[in-house]
Structure formats: structure tokens, C-alpha cells
Amino acid sequence: MASKTVIVGSTVGLHARPAALVAQAAAEFDDDITLRLSDADADDAVDAGSSMMIMSLGAAAGDEIVVESDNAEAVEKLAALIEQNLDA
């Protein structure tokens, strides 16, 4: 499984608009992709394809997020997206 830890770049964290953009990008892949706070257990991971689940993480700007999937390309794409300021 591919995994990458990234810092949330959006000033509002992974709230409505950023979460929707991440979920939309995740939907481009057929693979399961999960997100979790870096200090959370793997059981607390949420589906990256659901903006509501992403928002439930409560991730703020500067928080560390772990992106995981069997698809390394999906991990890289979502990780790069999460690092950006998506609310600009």
C-alpha cells in the first residue's frame, strides 16, 4: 500500500470547498483512497471520495494528513492537492 503524509495547505483546512475538490479528484480513480490525521489510528481513516467524510476529520491548516491507497498515482495526486491552498 502506498502512503504519504502531507501538511494541509488550505487556510480553512479541509472544509467544504477544499474537501469537495479532494473528493472530486479521488473520484477519478477506481481504487479505494483513504485519509486520516497523522496522529489517528488506521481505523479512523475516511473515504477520500466523500467530501462529508473528509470534513469529519476536522483537519485544520497545518495539520498532517496521511493519504493511503493501493494506487501510488492516486496517493501522489491527492497528496499534492491537499498541500495546496484550495480556498484561494
The pLDDT value given to residue 65? 98
C-alpha cell at 63: 495539520
Q: Is the pLDDT of residue 88 over 80?
A: no
Domain that holds residue 31: 2-83
Residue 73 falls within a domain, yes or no? yes
In angstroms, how far is CA 23 from the centroid of its own chain?
Answer: 8
- Structure confidence by residue, pLDDT tens digits, 6-52: 999 999 999 999 999 999 999 999 999 999 999 999 999 999 999 99
- Structure confidence by residue, pLDDT tens digits, 58-68: 999 999 999 99
- Give catalytic residues, as residue numbers: 15
The pLDDT value given to residue 56? 97
Count of residues making up the chain: 88
CATH number, domain of 17, equals 3.30.1340.10
C-alpha cell at 20: 469537495
Residue 74 falls within a domain, yes or no? yes
CB atoms within 10 A of CB 69: 23
The pLDDT value given to residue 86? 92
Whole-number Å distance between alpha carbons of 14 and 22: 9
Residue 88 falls within a domain, yes or no? no
Counted domains in the chain:
1
In angstroms, how far is CA 39 from the centroid of its own chain?
Answer: 14
